């Protein structure tokens, strides 16, 4: 049985809009897991892709507004994550709709963890130092 990625406080960036979207992505991943072996798993996977795209767009805008010094590199990492999603998606070939144990869930969990921990923790200290962690700032 596929293990679902659980939200951890260590994922928090301190920026409420970003953290809310990150939680939404973890929830969407749980929805895919819940639908595995059914056609709905594929729909949820597309919903995950759309959420991820929207999140990257919004996060890029926030980091641009915050004048984050590594914004351009960060934007590149988002493009790479979308490419990795594309590779996982092609490899799956809708296997998730037929089996409850498709390897794509582990790959998608890793993709998300990598975004939270390797990607986004890079701007956490910056936003907090600049007092920009809360979007009311």
Binding positions for Fe ion, rule: CB under 5 A: 59, 119-120
Is 25 or 104 the residue whose CB approaches Fe ion more closely? 25
Q: How far is the CB of 110 from Fe ion (least distance, A)?
A: 15
Cβ–Cβ under 8 Å, residues 89 and 105: no
Is 102 or 115 the residue whose CB approaches Fe ion more closely? 115
Q: How far is the CB of 57 from Fe ion (least distance, A)?
A: 11
Burial class for 72, CB neighbours closer than 10 Å (0-12, 13-18, 19+): exposed
In whole angstroms, how far apart are CA 93 and each of 47, 50, 88, 103, 132?
16, 18, 9, 11, 42
Q: How far is the CB of 69 from Fe ion (least distance, A)?
A: 15
Is 40 or 49 the residue whose CB approaches Fe ion more closely? 49
Question: In the structure encoding, which two tokens stand for residue 123, read together?
Answer: 């701007």
């Amino acid at each position: 049985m596929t293990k679902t990625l659980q939200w951890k406080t260590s994922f928090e960036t301190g920026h409420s809009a970003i953290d809310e979207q990150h939680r939404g992505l973890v929830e969407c991943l749980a929805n895919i897991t819940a639908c595995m072996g059914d056609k709905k798993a594929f729909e949820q996977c597309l919903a995950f892709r759309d959420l991820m795209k929207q999140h990257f767009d919004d996060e890029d805008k926030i980091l641009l507004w915050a004048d984050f010094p590594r914004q351009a590199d960060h934007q590149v990492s988002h493009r790479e994550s979308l490419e990795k999603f594309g590779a996982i998606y092609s490899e799956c070939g809708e296997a998730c709709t037929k089996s409850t144990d498709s390897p794509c869930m582990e790959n998608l969990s890793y993709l998300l963890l990598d975004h939270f921990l390797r990607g986004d923790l890079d701007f956490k200290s910056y936003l907090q130092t600049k007092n920009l962690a809360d979007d009311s700032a």
